[in-house]
Structure 1
Amino acid sequence: MEQEKKPVIDKQQIDAFINEEPSEKVDEVLRKYEVEARYRKFTGPMAKIIAVIAIAMSLFHLYTAGIGVFEAIKQRSIHLTFVLVLVFLLYPATSKSPKAKVTPIDVMLAALSFFAGVYLMTIYDDLANAGGVYTQMDIYVGGLLCLLVLEAARRATGKELPIMALLFVGYALFGDLIPGQFGHRGYSLERVIEHMFLTTEGIYGVALGVSATYIFLFILFGAFLSETGMARFFNSLAMAVAGGSPGGPAKVAIFASGLLGMINGSAVANTATIGSFTIPLMKSIGYRPHFAGAVEAVASTGGQIMPPVMGAAAFVMAEFLGMSYTAIMIAAVVPAALYYLACWTMIHLEALKLGLEGLPKEQLPSFKNTLLKSGHLMLPILAIVALLLYGLTPLYAAFFTILITIVVSWLKPETRISFRGILKALEAGARSAVGVAMACAVVGFVVGVSSLTSLGLTFGANILDLSGNSLMLTLVLTAITSLILGMGLPTTACYIVAATIAAPALIKLSVPPLVAHFFVFYFACLSNLTPPVCLAAFTAAGMAGASPYKVGWTSTRLGVAGFLVPFLAVYSPMLLLQGNFGAFEVGEALLTATVGIIALSAALENWLLRGCTLPERAVLLVGALCLIIPGFWTDIIGLGSVIAVYLWQKRSLSNPPSTGIAGN
């Protein structure tokens, strides 16, 4: 065991974390690992033009949220037009393009985007009255829009998503040349463009529809919360609650990342922002650099599954399933708690194993003073939960909560949002929504081709054939599919694609639709941690000065207990509050899941009350697996195994041997 290490930090580091004083390294790391962060930074007239466009976009969405959204394609077309114009003005075409000014080609592409949006708005009513009969000009403009979406997505999200979209389009065009189950009759280019441009099953499909309504308003809500100083409040609260416990900075990372994840669904952005403070703090008290980076990556990734404001994919899930977002939010509570319990337990045991102390209590903020100073900022979060539970749609709930946020901010001078602050939040919200919107637009090619060719059903049937209709094997194959897709796709796009092609296989095996989609959603989020491509872990490695792959594999180890949560939900749907159940059944499922996660964490960390012997680790592992498998006797065996190791270690600590060292 390493020697106990005393904190060697000073009060200035803690104050910097609380007050969000990011270093230049945050921007550098973000731009390296997050494509969405590689935008131009303008000054002068161009900065004002971008601000006007972004503010106009936010005002449009607030207007439609307040009075009611337009017809589906019109709402989505205006939303996409704003996004395309912003992308072509903000994002350079290549790494060699000018970073401080737009080029004539950028202006031309922005103008063509505006033209395509206006064109669709102009012809849509006539098209509807004509029963969907289109002209050759409609196809030309539709083809132009498809190319614009692919190019904008390449700039804003990276090349992987457009390449996958083109592969799916190729499948639609040349499916008649493919033998076997995956072959189909093939479709003409004109038919594909018409399906993508003039229906709500392609580019203007469900995914873009959710982006144009719920997702944008919730991102805007997060921008207003940030403007009040909510992040500073969360950081201070995290320090007050967890900073003084063993391994305090690591627990602060868990606590702060979980809270901030409610207002920022990007794992990479959370990792860079919060990690710029927590990672040095963790290193200063004795955590190894790769472990400190892994802690932040795991904590920030969990923000996407944390109610009440989850990642953008959760809103798409609600639309796919035809359920209210409130039902999704409620179902996510227990799994999110179990995920963070797993992270907390692993970190706590690591701190005990290394003999790490927390931060000096005299340097930490007071919990009471923190609440008295900024506790009122929790009112908007409570308000949005209350409005959703009351039955308001997410659109109206977000709209009213934005207004509540502005009012609440005026309760204290230090949190008050000025008129300039309102404009700043409107601009920041629109700019933050660009990446998600582009992912939702380009993934429309995947969803559109799947609906046109029945690819989703074919792929699901093949997964079942490969697994021999075994539920466990199908779950493993689906998880692997989601993780592989997540290597190159943003979380939202990864979920949409996996839900389209893999979730049907689980549903055919009688897994409830919500549980099946949650399973896919979780692994889409967790793909941020798993090598070889794990963007949250790579970002954390850049902040920690550690090997990216070492951070990635450590993140996977720390997250292993969390990786079991989706499997637990499938075998015990009551954890998602699904099915007919009583309070006793829910309590039993919670108890066994909690003890199972703690046992697995102890086995992986090789520490419970002390270092574990090899037989003790084996018993803990067997106990954890038994608690995961539903059944009365497996639960009894699992609980008995864990309790036996706990009592044995407690006895050995009370009566230490006269010679030798217990454990390792």
Structure 2
Amino acid sequence: MLIKMGINLIGLGMFLYHMVSTQVLLQSTIAHLNTHLTLALVLIFLSNNIKSKTRLETYLSSSLAVFSLICGLYIQLQWQELQMRMYFNTLSDLIIGGALIFLALESTRREMGLFLPIFILCVVIYPFVGHLLPEPFYCHSLGIKKTISKLSIGLESGIFQYLSISTNYIFLFAVFGGLLQAVGGTEFFIGISRILAGRIQGGPGMIAVLSSALVGSITGSGAANVMITGVFTIPLMKRTGFKPEQAGAIEAAASNGGQIMPPIMGMVAFAMAGLTGIPYINICAMAVIPAALYYFTCGTYVYLNAKRLNIGRGLDMNEKERPNRKSMFLSSLTFVVPFTLIVVLLIKGYSVMLVAFWAIVSVILIGIINRKSAKEIINGITAGVKAGSGIAASVAAVGLLATTFITSGLGVKIASGIELWSRGNLFLALLIIWAVCIVLGCVGLAITAYIVAALFGVAPLVKMGVPFEIAHFFVMYASVFAFLTPPIAVVALIAARVAGATYLKTAKESTKIALAAFLLPFLFIYSPVLLLKPKNLADVWEIPIIIVGLVVLESGLVGYLFRSYTVWERVISIAAMVLLSLFLATKGEAFLIFGGFVVGALLFLNRKITPASFLGRPPL
């Protein structure tokens, strides 16, 4: 009880500190980052204390929380002296520095699992044996003392290298998401989705797509999205005829898209703004068309599957499931007010944290107007602070990786290796970087996969002629959608549990639904009009070509267009998408003509079905 109260107090204190920091300069940059990290570490270990199953685990978590506080106070009281004696640190400096490295890795392990901290530890240790290895594996080390100084106690790199991304871009928006859920901001999205999607073939599946797109635009988290919308949409989809793995897959794919849905995209987008200096509003604008295409593709899959399974429009909702108009009107305020504020302030050029500040204030005021209790509001704030703390720990751990890459020369070697392995071929380079993003994203947080891949993946692409912001968008998208990729598809795993389905079947199906997301990063490179970066006005015609290709591709994966496909028709549909993609990559008109011919042939094979039946009406 005391620990839970302590967690709430620290969470509220951390929240208030960051809110005030948006208005008043309380501390210098280093002291601010240290305060942020210290509070995050203490909160993580105390939160784990509650989950502890044995007395030993409880004591260990409490000890680590106290140790985090000691390290934070040590730095806070003498950060200026620590900077001055970098590389010439005292024994106590090195002990605190080593402890801080351990705490960053251990907190990341507790929040994200074993893979990332073990991977980082291997990279940090590698330079100490790298000097014994032949080229191209050779690299040099700074020595133990200088390594500890560089990675932690020097305060300029390592753990502190990317912490500003967490403090200046991510933390308060994480709180905003938690707070908005607590005051019922998601009820409006789900209600309006039920009303709109009930008029379309495969209504429950469409509800999942629409509600996940809307809710995802405020949570920015695929896993959270599944738990918010999936508990309603998955049972409804199953009841109307979708198989359990299909229901789970539709929800997983739709929920994961929330990370690329403006105006509040996932934490990876904020990381991209912090890492690149690209204004967040520009990132949102660039993401509009890809997000629309992604959800259009998800909707196409649902519609075609509903036609194939003969699932109608009726939702057959019970009294509890029917949207309440009055509650929808009240909850709409929690959508309209903060979203309007966010868009207007971003367009006016306000900083991300200042935008988050006013968005949070508006949500709290609306919560009070809607008679939400203080407990509900505090719980929402605490939930958001915990989420933000976990991200702070992982960003600190990734800083260890980044600094080691730079100081040891590994980053340059890997970047050069990509050029060498691809032999200067852009597509091969894209394929290598995409594969790395998928692997890293499968086993960790999307934000860490993005930062790590961007370290060595963006430079070779820029060297090959890809514009800087497009190269970063490529890496970001690949990292985000790794969450749907087996063998470790986190979002699909959660959705499978809710659906009572087999995990691998759900993951396989969600990959089929979200296949557009795996193709879009490559299309960004060859058709930059998708990111509002056309080379000329004629490029706009590439968008309808992409839409046709995606519809044809989904029809092949589902096995239905106007009627069920034969095996050869499936092959033809996939071939059509390949030909249209080759046109986009090479600009060769022959591929466009041949691809158009194949699409026409596919429609001709389905010619006996009338357009009316495709729209869900019986033929006349």
Q: Tell me the equivalent position of 2:426.
A: 471
**Once the 2 structures are TM-superposed, how far is the Cα of residue 54 of structure 1 from its aligned partner?**
0.7
Q: Tell me the equivalent position of 2:603.
A: 646
Comparing 631-640 with 47-56, which one deviates more in the overlay?
A: 631-640
Q: Tell me the equivalent position of 1:567.
A: 522
Given candidates 264, 267, 273, the residue that maps to 2:228 is 273
Q: Tell me the equivalent position of 1:8.
A: none
1:654 and 1:593, CA in 2 relative to 1: closer, same or farther beyond 3 A?
Answer: closer
Q: Tell me the equivalent position of 2:486.
A: 531
Q: Does 1:394 align with 2:342?
A: no
Is the 8 Å Cα contact of residues 248 and 495 (structure 2) preserved in structure 1? yes
Given candidates 533, 539, 544, the residue that maps to 1:585 is 539
Q: Tell me the equivalent position of 1:81.
A: 38
Given candidates 265, 287, 291, the residue that maps to 2:242 is 287
Aligned pair count reads 605
Comparing 162-171 with 226-235, which one deviates more in the overlay?
A: 226-235
Q: Does 1:194 align with 2:152?
A: no
1:654 and 1:128, CA in 2 relative to 1: closer, same or farther beyond 3 A?
Answer: closer
**Once the 2 structures are TM-superposed, how far is the Cα of residue 654 of structure 1 from its aligned partner?**
8.4
Cα distance in 2 for residues equivalent to 1:481 and 1:533: 14
Show CA shifts across 1:196-235 (max 9, x none).
11133210112x2111221011111112222331111111
Q: Does 1:379 align with 2:337?
A: yes
Given candidates 432, 435, 446, the residue that maps to 1:491 is 446
Is the 8 Å Cα contact of residues 3 and 46 (structure 2) preserved in structure 1? no
1:245 and 1:331, CA in 2 relative to 1: closer, same or farther beyond 3 A?
Answer: same
Show CA shifts across 1:51-82 (max 9, x none).
10110011111111122474332221111111
Cα distance in 2 for residues equivalent to 1:217 and 1:472: 38
Q: Percent identity?
A: 34
Q: Does 1:517 align with 2:475?
A: no
**Once the 2 structures are TM-superposed, how far is the Cα of residue 361 of structure 1 from its aligned partner?**
7.3
Show CA shifts across 1:373-423 (max 9, x none).
43322221121011111111111111122122233445xx5x344544443
Cα distance in 1 for residues equivalent to 2:254 and 2:612: 38
Q: Does 1:54 align with 2:11?
A: yes
Cα distance in 1 for residues equivalent to 2:446 and 2:348: 29
1:200 and 1:357, CA in 2 relative to 1: closer, same or farther beyond 3 A?
Answer: farther
Cα distance in 2 for residues equivalent to 1:646 and 1:511: 36
Is the 8 Å Cα contact of residues 528 and 535 (structure 2) preserved in structure 1? no
Q: Tell me the equivalent position of 1:405.
A: 363
**Once the 2 structures are TM-superposed, how far is the Cα of residue 314 of structure 1 from its aligned partner?**
1.2
Q: Aligned ranges for residues 13-162 of structure 1 at < 5 Å?
A: 44-68=1-25, 70-92=27-49, 96-98=53-55, 103-128=58-83, 134-162=89-117
**3-state SS in 2 of match to 1:91:** helix
1:228 and 1:461, CA in 2 relative to 1: closer, same or farther beyond 3 A?
Answer: same
1:562 and 1:130, CA in 2 relative to 1: closer, same or farther beyond 3 A?
Answer: closer
Cα distance in 1 for residues equivalent to 2:568 and 2:68: 65
Q: Does 1:204 align with 2:157?
A: no
Is the 8 Å Cα contact of residues 244 and 360 (structure 1) preserved in structure 2? no
Comparing 364-373 with 232-241, which one deviates more in the overlay?
A: 364-373
Given candidates 208, 218, 240, the residue that maps to 2:195 is 240
Cα distance in 1 for residues equivalent to 2:26 and 2:532: 32
1:371 and 1:592, CA in 2 relative to 1: closer, same or farther beyond 3 A?
Answer: farther
Q: Tell me the equivalent position of 2:266.
A: 311
Is the 8 Å Cα contact of residues 191 and 328 (structure 2) preserved in structure 1? no
Is the 8 Å Cα contact of residues 97 and 148 (structure 2) preserved in structure 1? yes
Structure 2: 5+ residue stretches without partners = 614-620
Comparing 121-130 with 493-502, which one deviates more in the overlay?
A: 121-130
Show CA shifts across 1:157-193 (max 9, x none).
2111110111011113222122112312222111111
Is the 8 Å Cα contact of residues 204 and 315 (structure 2) preserved in structure 1? no
**3-state SS in 1 of match to 2:187:** helix
Cα distance in 2 for residues equivalent to 1:529 and 1:461: 30
**Once the 2 structures are TM-superposed, how far is the Cα of residue 594 of structure 1 from its aligned partner?**
1.2
1:53 and 1:291, CA in 2 relative to 1: closer, same or farther beyond 3 A?
Answer: same
Cα distance in 2 for residues equivalent to 1:416 and 1:505: 55
Cα distance in 2 for residues equivalent to 1:526 and 1:543: 20
Cα distance in 2 for residues equivalent to 1:114 and 1:69: 19
Q: Tell me the equivalent position of 1:661.
A: none
Show CA shifts across 1:70-129 (max 9, x none).
43322211111111111111115997535xx97333222211111111111111123445
Q: Tell me the equivalent position of 1:660.
A: none
**3-state SS in 1 of match to 2:395:** helix
CA-atom RMSD in angstroms: 2.5
Q: Tell me the equivalent position of 1:34.
A: none
Is the 8 Å Cα contact of residues 187 and 331 (structure 2) preserved in structure 1? no
Comparing 129-138 with 262-271, which one deviates more in the overlay?
A: 129-138
**3-state SS in 2 of match to 1:487:** helix
Cα distance in 2 for residues equivalent to 1:457 and 1:74: 31
**3-state SS in 2 of match to 1:111:** helix
Cα distance in 2 for residues equivalent to 1:484 and 1:389: 36
1:502 and 1:107, CA in 2 relative to 1: closer, same or farther beyond 3 A?
Answer: same
Comparing 345-354 with 171-180, which one deviates more in the overlay?
A: 171-180
Comparing 365-374 with 542-551, which one deviates more in the overlay?
A: 365-374
Given candidates 505, 510, 514, the residue that maps to 1:555 is 510
**3-state SS in 2 of match to 1:177:** coil
Is the 8 Å Cα contact of residues 302 and 340 (structure 1) preserved in structure 2? yes
1:392 and 1:654, CA in 2 relative to 1: closer, same or farther beyond 3 A?
Answer: closer
Q: Does 1:358 align with 2:313?
A: yes
- What amino acid is the match of 2:357? F
- What amino acid is the match of 1:87? I
Q: Aligned ranges for residues 555-634 of structure 1 at < 5 Å?
A: 555-578=510-533, 580-582=535-537, 584-586=538-540, 588-629=541-582, 630=584, 631=587, 633=589, 634=591
**3-state SS in 1 of match to 2:218:** coil
- What amino acid is the match of 1:383? L
Cα distance in 2 for residues equivalent to 1:446 and 1:607: 47
Given candidates 545, 562, 565, the residue that maps to 2:500 is 545
Is the 8 Å Cα contact of residues 86 and 149 (structure 2) preserved in structure 1? no
Is the 8 Å Cα contact of residues 349 and 605 (structure 1) preserved in structure 2? yes
1:177 and 1:48, CA in 2 relative to 1: closer, same or farther beyond 3 A?
Answer: same
**Once the 2 structures are TM-superposed, how far is the Cα of residue 365 of structure 1 from its aligned partner?**
4.9
Cα distance in 2 for residues equivalent to 1:435 and 1:655: 51
1:579 and 1:120, CA in 2 relative to 1: closer, same or farther beyond 3 A?
Answer: farther
Is the 8 Å Cα contact of residues 599 and 620 (structure 1) preserved in structure 2? yes
Cα distance in 2 for residues equivalent to 1:304 and 1:219: 13
- Normalised to the residue count of structure 2, the TM-score between the two structures is 0.92
**Once the 2 structures are TM-superposed, how far is the Cα of residue 286 of structure 1 from its aligned partner?**
0.9
Is the 8 Å Cα contact of residues 240 and 315 (structure 2) preserved in structure 1? no
Cα distance in 2 for residues equivalent to 1:381 and 1:324: 18
1:371 and 1:643, CA in 2 relative to 1: closer, same or farther beyond 3 A?
Answer: farther
- What amino acid is the match of 1:169? V
- Normalised to the residue count of structure 1, the TM-score between the two structures is 0.86
**Once the 2 structures are TM-superposed, how far is the Cα of residue 641 of structure 1 from its aligned partner?**
3.5
**Once the 2 structures are TM-superposed, how far is the Cα of residue 541 of structure 1 from its aligned partner?**
1.6
1:341 and 1:72, CA in 2 relative to 1: closer, same or farther beyond 3 A?
Answer: same
1:616 and 1:367, CA in 2 relative to 1: closer, same or farther beyond 3 A?
Answer: farther
Cα distance in 2 for residues equivalent to 1:653 and 1:422: 54
